[in-house]
Amino acid sequence: MNERDKPGQIKPMDSAATSNKKTDTKPAKLGREVQARLGQQLRAMYDDVVNQGVPDRFSDLINRIDGNGNKDRQ
């Protein structure tokens, strides 16, 4: 039990001196939590499309181009 750190005894910095001028020019860093959630939301939206797979239109297109000589291949 020692009481070296008495609260309020030492003021390491003048808080007014570190004004938040810089935060105006550079946006505050986002918390990890917020970033993670934005990322999840973004991926969910993106994967929603990805999970639709390859619409027939595109496999047909490839087959048409590739096709002629290779109709059996699939």
What residues make contact with other proteins under the rule CB under 8 A?
A: 27-28, 30-31, 33-35, 37-55, 57-59, 61-62, 65-66, 68-70
As measured in angstroms, the least distance from the Cβ of 1 to other proteins is 36
What residues have CB less than 8 Å from 66, skipping those under 6 apart? Answer: 73
What is the torsional sign of CA 15, 18, 21, 22?
Answer: negative
Given the complex with other proteins, which of 18 and 70 has the nearer CB atom? 70
Distance of alpha carbon 10 from alpha carbon 25, whole angstroms: 31
As measured in angstroms, the least distance from the Cβ of 22 to other proteins is 15
